Amino acid sequence: MALSPVEQNNPILRLARYLRSGVPPYAWVFAGIVVLAVIVGTTGALQLKKSIKVQSKAQSEFPAKVLPPSVVKAAPKVVVKPTPQPRPPASEEINLKPILPESDVATDVAEPKAYEEALPEKVFEPTPVTVAPIQQEIPKTEPVVVAPGLENSWRKNAVQLAELPPGPKIAIVIDDAGVDRKRTAAVTALPAPLTIAFLTYAGALPKQTKAATAAGHEIMVHMAMEPLNRSVDPGPNVLLIESEAAEILKRLRWGLDRFSGYVGINNHMGSKFTSDPQGMNIVMRELKRRGLLFLDSRTSGSTVGASVALANDVPFTQRNIFLDNVPTVEAINKQLRQMEIFAKRNGYAVAIGHPRDATINALSQWLAVMAEKGFVQVPISTIVAQQRQ
């Protein structure tokens, strides 16, 4: 077909005429589809890129916002590690409610660490206890009325011994019992009568204390009290000097109500709390009301436990020797020899140990020969009763 004059002068028209005459119709349809696909793909890519930017901005400003599934799949995976929180000091941790073990399930417990309070190796010689220096610091309160049926509970729950043979009397107290049930059971299997002080936050306390009593041992409440060293954890429901009187009494009664049949309490740690006359006065008034005794573990040289007990007419005595601050049989045997010397010199001794393997091994050997050495094994109530005569 001949070109028109206009087409001859216009190259674009000549090209269009060529394409119309040289390209079949189905080729034009295919070309149109390709062009349309390119346009759609380009538009979709632009929208996806915009969506990713929106998502990134939303995640940075509102991390908890849920984005549409299509965008979430396209977004890069982000792993956010939690920021570690600083460990609160012991005085804050111990305000939490206690988490107790299952009542009938015992878990494995690592052997307890060496005693971490003050003066673990100091031997306390008996000294006169006076009331006057403490009375001025204790606020005046109404006299304590002993609860009906609880008068002299410490005597009623004491291990009753036959006539004692002559010789220095030794009371061995095992603190921190109950949490490590395996070692507590091993302590219970030792020759009686020991005095076993159970931590208030241990599990299955009625079951464990019943076993100890059935074996001929005397039992006590091992009451957690505030230490000077804030890096050690005395456990839940510890008595704190900064607490209100009502809170101290609440925690004390919680511990005293965990089991029954005990003669009294002694302090778990407590180098700070036992030095506070007001706090110890709250404790002694409750012990007086319940007819219980107090054993001062003497974790501090400035303890006022004995003085405040005397002021409230609470039966009391004090620890003389720690046996196992160094938890080796050799070191414990050395402390046992110091205990013998002390007992011969004073007629009695109060020693404190813990449910540790070395302690159990050393005591099992020493208890088997103590009578041959002329010593008399007694519970803590016997020492208290003789000192009150």
pLDDT digits (tens, 9 = 90+) for 256-277: 999 999 999 999 999 999 999 9
Contact indicator for 381, 263 with CB cutoff of 8 Å: yes
Map out the domains of the chain as residue ranges. 5-74, 118-387
Looking at domain 118-387, does it have CATH number 3.40.50.150? no
Structure tokens at 151: 């008068």
* Residue 143 to residues 55, 248, 265, 285, 286, Cα–Cα distance (Å): 72, 19, 21, 9, 11
> What single DSSP character describes residue 265?
E
pLDDT at 145: 86
pLDDT at 35: 58
pLDDT at 265: 98
Between 270 and 143, residue with greater pLDDT:
270
Contact indicator for 339, 307 with CB cutoff of 8 Å: no
Q: Give the pLDDT mean for 285-298.
A: 97
Res. 106: pLDDT tops 90: no
pLDDT band at 86 (very low <50, low <70, confident <90, very high): very low
Q: Give the pLDDT mean for 324-343.
A: 96
Rounded distance between C-alpha atoms, residue 239 and residue 254, angstroms: 11
Between 25 and 150, residue with greater pLDDT:
150
pLDDT at 232: 87
Structure tokens at 2: 């001949």
pLDDT digits (tens, 9 = 90+) for 8-57: 666 666 656 655 665 566 655 666 676 566 565 666 555 655 555 545 44
Mean pLDDT is lowest, of 21-25, 146-150, 202-206, 346-350, for: 21-25
pLDDT digits (tens, 9 = 90+) for 217-256: 999 999 999 999 888 889 999 999 999 999 999 999 999 9
Put simply, whether the predicted model's pTM sits higher than 0.75 gets the answer no
The beta strands (E) that lie in the chain are given as 169-177, 195-199, 218-225, 264-269, 293-296, 316-318, 321-322, 348-353, 376-377
195 phi, psi to nearest 5 deg: -115, 120
pLDDT at 112: 53
* Residue 330 to residues 50, 117, 120, 341, 363, Cα–Cα distance (Å): 76, 21, 17, 17, 12
